[in-house]
Amino acid sequence: MPDTFLLEIATPDRLVISEQVEMVTAPGVEGQFGVLPGHTPFLTLLKFGEISYRVDGEDRFMVVSWGFAEVLPHCVSVLVETAEMAQEIDLARAEAAGKRAEERLARKDAEDIDVQRAQAAMARSMIRLQVTRRGDRRSRG
């Protein structure tokens, strides 16, 4: 059995990666899932979250928005609305978005606050910050 499989992640704008990887984890709508070479085929919806994958023993991270993943024994194809590699994330912008969402949630009693939208913004900010930290740790070795 092969030690790797092809991982392709694409958005409507670009092919983000096309690499041979040893494993991948992704945020399925029914929970995080992992794939190793030779995995049983399936198709699933993805939610906003973190994708991690391993190349030559090194873990890499990115944030993706909603989309689809097709898993085959020799290939995983991911089609998402947006994808950001850890090094592409603007840390200051992610922190500012989290702070804005936190301030909105603190004013829950105000009628003009969309609580679900603010909670989603907070979750997106937290995931971006988490992926950025993991990417920084990887680059420091």
**Can you name the residues that pair with 58 across neighbouring β-strands?**
55
Check whether residue 81 and residue 96 sit in a common domain. no
Check whether residue 11 and residue 77 sit in a common domain. yes
**Tens digit of pLDDT for each residue in 66-90?**
899 999 999 999 999 989 887 776 7
Check whether residue 70 and residue 115 sit in a common domain. no
Domain span at residue 102 reads 89-140
Cα angle for residues 116, 129, 69 (degrees, 5° grid): 70
Q: What percent of the chain has pLDDT over 90?
A: 55
Check whether residue 136 and residue 101 sit in a common domain. yes
**Tens digit of pLDDT for each residue in 88-121?**
767 777 777 777 777 777 775 666 667 677 667 7
